[in-house]
A and B are shown apart, each in its own frame.
Chain A
Amino acid sequence: GAVVSQHPSWVICKSGTSVKIECRSLDFQATTMFWYRQFPKQSLMLMATSNEGSKATYEQGVEKDKFLINHASLTLSTLTVTSAHPEDSSFYICSASRGSETQYFGPGTRLLVL
């Protein structure tokens, strides 16, 4: 099956710093990638949809200037949390579609902002 990786798997940072999370499709080209966020004991919530070579589409309530998404190639999308604060601490998960009906999810990145 298709494999999606994320890096780093976990990160701890100080408040006010920026953190970049990478999402890679390892064995297929992803026309669309999605970024989700999951808080403890809650379900996944979509943050944004990213298509290669175009601007990401953000869900209502998600600040595009705070969560910068770059989808520079068909195998890589990045999410940068700028000026992170403790309330941004969460589990960030990406998924990728290769143009088929199935999406494949990465293992997630746990962010802790102190």
Chain B
Amino acid sequence: DAKTTQPPSMDCAEGRAANLPCNHSTISGNEYVYWYRQIHSQGPQYIIHGLKNNETNEMASLIITEDRKSSTLILPHATLRDTAVYYCIVRAVDNYGQNFVFGPGTRLSVLP
């Protein structure tokens, strides 16, 4: 079973920031938080991951709470092409041979 909970769907206006929450209250100290997204009929695309510090890259920012029990993925200026299902996943550090367990994710709809 997935170790994360996410809202099933969210809407966001084009050009505004999209803030996608994720709860992972049972996360262990050696587990990363990963975010992937899946645009319709494509394979999942890596977005970002982090352990305990906030992270930022060219796609998004990841804010992890101090107790690490929840996180937020931020798309700073959402576009129509950001419409996708977003998956929040936790996985142990150094366990490269372990698969990702996908939950139902959040279906983000960016509206014009």
A-side interface residues toward B, CB under 8 Å? 1, 4, 6, 31-32, 34, 36, 43-46, 49, 51, 91, 93, 95, 97, 99-108, 110
Q: Is the CB of A101 within 8 A of B41?
A: no
* Majority secondary structure, B binding face: loop
Contact of B96 among A46, A101, A106 (CB under 8 A): A101
Interface of B toward A, CB cutoff 8 Å: 32, 34, 36, 41-46, 49, 87, 91, 93-94, 96-97, 99-105
User: Are A108 and B41 closer than 8 Å at their CB atoms?
Assistant: yes
Asked if residues A102 and B49 are in contact (CB atoms below 8 Å), the reply is: yes
How near does chain A come to B80, taking the closest CB pair, in angstroms? Answer: 20
Which 3 A-B pairs have CB atoms at the shortest separation, nearest pair first?
Answer: A105-B43, A44-B102, A43-B102
Instruction: Please tell me which one of the listed residues B34, B101, B104, B105 contacts residue A46 in the complex, with CB atoms under 8 A apart.
Output: B101
Contact B43 A107 (CB under 8 A): yes
* Residue from A43, A49, A93, A99 within 8 A of B104 (CB atoms): A43
A-B contact pairs, 14 of them (CB 8 A): A4-B43, A34-B99, A34-B100, A43-B104, A44-B44, A44-B102, A95-B100, A100-B96, A101-B32, A102-B34, A105-B43, A105-B44, A107-B42, A107-B43
A45's nearest neighbour on chain B, judged by CB, is: B102
Task: Give the docked Cα–Cα distance between A110 and B49 (Å).
Answer: 28
| Given known A-B contacts A43-B102, A46-B101, A101-B32, A108 and B43 have beta carbons under 8 A apart | yes
Known contacts being A100-B96, A101-B32, is A43 close to B49, with CB within 8 Å? no
Task: Name, among B45, B91, B102, the residue most crowded by chain A CB atoms within 10 Å (CB to CB).
Answer: B102
